[in-house]
Each structure stands twice: as C-alpha cells, then as structure tokens.
Amino acid sequence: MTDPFAPNRRQLIQTLGLAGATAAFSAAPARGVPIAEATGTPGWHAGYRTAPAAGFPEASMTPVSGRLPEGLTGAFFRNGPAQFTYGDTVAGHWFDGDGMVQRIWLGDGKASHSGQFVQTRKRVREQAEDRFIYPGFGSAGAANVALSGPDDTNAANTSVIVHAGKLYALWEGGSAYELDPVTLETKGPKVWREDLTGMPFLAHPKREPDGRLWNLAVGGRTVGIYRIGAAGDLERFDMVDIGAAAYIHDWAMTDRHLVILVQPWLRTSFGLPIVDHLEWAPDEGLRILIVDKDDPTRTRWAETPARFFYHTGAAWEDASGAIHIDIALYDKPELASGAATDLIRGGPVTRSDTPVSNLSRLVIAPNGDVRVEETGIDGEFPTVHPGFHGLARRYTALVGGNLEGRPGAHRLSVVDWQTGRASSFDYGNTRIAEEHLIVAKPTGRTEADAWVIGTALNTARQCHEVHVFDLAGVADGPIASFAADYPWPLGFHGTFSPA
C-alpha cells in the first residue's frame, strides 16, 4: 500500500497553515503572554494552581457563541492533577497532583460545570496532615513513609471512564476509583474480582463498539489483561510476559488483537520516585507484543527502532492482517522532569519545554515487519470515534502546537488518514486546548457524522471553556462555546457519556 502522506504532504501543511480564525476567535495576533493580575504569574498558570479542596459546586456556564446542537446531551467528564502545593512545598511533578474529576453537563442548549477531588487514601491523609507524604511518578514523598502497595500512592488523576453506568477515575499504577456520576462523590477503589484487589488498572482502557472493555494491569515485566463485559462484569483476567519492565502509559487494540508496545524506557531498579528508576535504552528497540483476544496465550512479536510515546489513537487490521496504529511518537522520553515543576511554579516556560511529537502510523505486517509513516503533525491526546474503535476508520483528532512563553496546545486537528489531509482550528495564544473527543451524533450513521468536543483554558479571561465542533467542519471553528466564570486545573483525559 502506498504512503498517503507522501503525495499530500504539501497539501497537508497548507491545510494546517490555513486553519483557524473564525469570528469568535479572530483576536489580534498575541503579543506576549497574558498576565493574571491577581497573582503576578502568567495567565497560563491558572491551569496549574491547586483547586479548592471543597471542589467546584455545580455552576452554569455562559453561552459564548453558537448553539448547542440538538441531540448533544450528556456528561463530559475529565480528570487531571489539581493539588500542587501544600504551603510553600511544591509537588515533585505535575503528574503527581491529586486527581480532580470535572463534569460538564451538556443538554437543552445549556452547559454547567462541577468538579470534585477524588478522595483517595493518599489524598485523605495528605489533606488531614496538610502536607505531601506519598511518593509518585516524580515526587520522592516523605522519608520512609510506609507503603504496602501501589494504591497507597494512587493519585487517581489521569483519566476517567463510564462503564455500565458507573464512573471511574483512573490512574496508571493502581485501582480504578469509583465515583458517583452525578455528585462525583468518591465511593472507593474498584475490585473487579476479589483476588485482583489492588491490581493496577491502566488509565487507557479500550472499549469495543459492542461495549466490551479491555484494559491492562502494568506492574513490571508481567502484564495483566482485563476483559470486562458491557454489563460491567469481569469476564476473564490473563497474564502475559512482555519481556521487560517497561514504562507503559497506553497501548492499542484491534477487533482481534491487543497490541502492547514495549518501549525501551525500562525500570532498572526498584524505588521511588518512578522517574528516577527508568532508563532510556534505545538499543532495545520498540518491541511490540501482539496478543490474540480470544486466546491470550497466542502471541507474536514485532520490532522497530526505538521511539517513545505516551498515547495511541487506536488500531485496526486490514484484509491482509496488517495492523495499523496511530500514535504520537517522540524520539526519546519527554516530560520526565524539569519543566514539570516549573509549570506548577508558574514558569519560566520556554517553547522547547513543550515536547513536539510526530503523529505517525505504525503498520505492522503479518510477518512482523513494521513501517512507520510520519505525518509531520505535532500533537497529543489522539482520539477516535468510539463507534469505530478497533475497526478501519478515517479520522483521528488531536491537539498540538506550542507557543513561546507558555505551555500547552493551541491547535485542534482532525487527521483524515484516507486523504492524508488534516483540518485544523487554531485557538490562538490566549487559549490552551485540552484533549478533544470525537462524539457520535445520535442519528449519525457514518464516522464523519460526529462532533468534536473539548475544553480550553482561556488564559486572558482566566476561565475554562467548552467547545463543540462539527467533525466535518473543524476548521470553521466551534459551533457552540460556553465559558465558566472561573478556571480549573488543566487535565489529561476525558470521556463523554451520552444521556
């Protein structure tokens, strides 16, 4: 098969260049970075400040432009770190802040917002003692703090999923935490089966269009595989050997296979914080374990030169059996340290602190050969139409771009893998775009019959916003936008749960 990006690369770049600027967003080119007068730190710092311990009570958001489309009704949940300081003490890494789940309710032409911290064991104790105690990804924690398992350090801050009507806040190394989907009250760690108590539940579960959910338990060289029915019951749990204790944040799934990408960022010794015990070993390559969903003992390997990634979009298999994975690749591990605490402090941040990815497609032939097709599009948080997860599809949404003097993405792109073109919308210098999701229209029959919804922090007006696009017209800008009266901390991943 030909590389669709080769002939269209020029066109693709043009498309990107032409993107943006609808009426609502046609602000003059930004000069410098907005300053939040109240604090003296840059405007973007509103995204990295500790949220109120009591959370955000439900408050209506103000319509800014457009109209919420008929049929878009449901809860848009997001999760991200939201506790960054105790007194003068700063968390050791942005990734280690306690999770706060944001809930944006959309319906009847209106939007409202609420948010609550996940009351993990870690948070409850640290709040009671008004200090950081537990170690994490990049935080050392208090000296000699007792630890009996990963859930002691579970920040429940990475993602969120609704499955069989239940809402879970997800981390990557510990249990999912169940929350009430309306009040966001924490119910406690989820036990899928008694003997799996305390097993990690990765922040990137994958759901088949028929509702079955798959996820990994990552804890070293051995990885667990959850298969959870549409009704929420654990159907089976298997273990596979991935050959190395690699850092795994995300993975991929087709209709027939699970694809575990074993990148060579390897745990060389045991200890905390995690990042201090990981070593980049590019000679090991990027090894890919392909697991048969029907029989997890049936596996095969593929391999390609070392690359680093946090996120995949999704995967699918063509008629030849080749597996296609869209993935945001880097040359080496990024965001491991350094700038992550500068974000919490409010700077300084330079453009080079925001890593630049290359959205690519890995094509794994049945014989194990791997081809890497690079799009040249920089971005993160790739997402796909949930009705096509694991199946052949055309579109991936992602946010990207970086600007001098501020962190975060400013551009939403929807890549059409069939044409090799991307259409994009530029939020400009006064907004930080978070992950955007593709949401099926209730009446939609095709992949393109969808909306794209996402949040952005308005750094000039110091408020959070939610924006709705038509997937087919992303470059035209949002068709509906709402603004809260206040900002909340920037997060990682979300999910949309239709009413």
Which residues contribute to the site for other proteins (CB under 8 A)? 135-137, 144-150, 153, 172-174, 194-200, 217-220, 222, 224, 237, 239, 245, 247-248, 267, 270, 272, 274, 277
Closest contact distance (angstroms) between CB of 270 and other proteins is 6
Query: Largest alpha-carbon pair distance within the chain?
Result: 60
Burial level of 375, CB count in 10 A (0-12/13-18/19+)? Answer: buried
Beta-strand ranges (E) seen in 42-135 are 56-66, 74-81, 85-86, 89-90, 99-107, 110-117
* Closer residue to other proteins (CB): 123 or 410: 123
CA distances from 466 to 114, 181, 233, 450 (A): 13, 19, 33, 16
DSSP state of 403: B
CA separation for the pair 84, 91 (Å, rounded) = 5
The nearest distance, CB 183 to other proteins, in angstroms, is 27
Q: How far is the CB of 47 from other proteins (least distance, A)?
A: 25
The DSSP element (H or E) to which 224 belongs, if any, is strand 222-228
Shortest distance, CB of residue 105 to other proteins, whole angstroms? Answer: 33
Which CB atom, from 222 or from 352, has the smaller least distance to other proteins? 222
CB-nearer residue toward other proteins: 34 or 174? 174
Q: d(Cα 463, Cα 2) in Å, to the nearest integer?
A: 45
Encoded tokens for 436: 């955007």
CA count, 13 A, side-chain hemisphere, 487: 23
CB-based contact 496:76 (threshold 8 Å): yes
d(CA 54, CA 51): 8
Cβ distance to other proteins smaller for residue 262 or 349: 262
Closer residue to other proteins in complex, CB, 278/349? 278
Nearer to other proteins, 172 or 426 (CB): 172
Is the CB of 144 or the CB of 367 nearer to other proteins?
144
HSE (side-chain half, CA atoms, 13 Å) at 437: 22
Contacts of 102 (CB under 8 A, 6+ apart): 56, 77, 78, 79, 80, 113, 114, 115, 455, 488, 491, 494
* Dist. CA 159–CA 496, nearest whole Å: 12
Q: What is the DSSP letter of 335?
A: S
* Residue 380 near residue 75, CB atoms below 8 Å: no
CB-CB contact of 137 with 96 (8 Å): yes
Q: How far is the CB of 204 from other proteins (least distance, A)?
A: 13
CB of 19 to other proteins, least distance (A): 37
Q: Which is nearer to other proteins, 199 or 433 (CB)?
A: 199
Pick the closer one to other proteins by CB: 9 or 277: 277
CB of 266 to other proteins, least distance (A): 11
Structure tokens at 223: 């990885």
Q: Is the dihedral of CA 485, 489, 495, 499 positive or negative?
A: negative
- Strands of the sheet containing 186-189, edge to edge, are 159-163, 166-170, 177-179, 186-189
Give the nearest distance from C-beta 264 to other proteins in angstroms: 15
SS3 442: coil
Q: Which residue number, 60 or 268, has a Cβ lying nearer to other proteins? A: 268
- Nearest approach in angstroms of CB 173 to other proteins is 4
Least Å distance between CB 207 and other proteins?
23
Q: How far is the CB of 434 from other proteins (least distance, A)?
A: 24
C-alpha span between 325 and 307 (Å, rounded): 14
Provide the minimum distance between the beta carbon of 148 and other proteins in the complex, in angstroms, as a whole number: 7
Q: Which of 51, 22, 16 shows the shortest CA–CA distance to 457?
A: 51
Whichever of 89 and 197 has its CB closer to other proteins, that residue is 197
**36 or 218: CB nearest other proteins:** 218
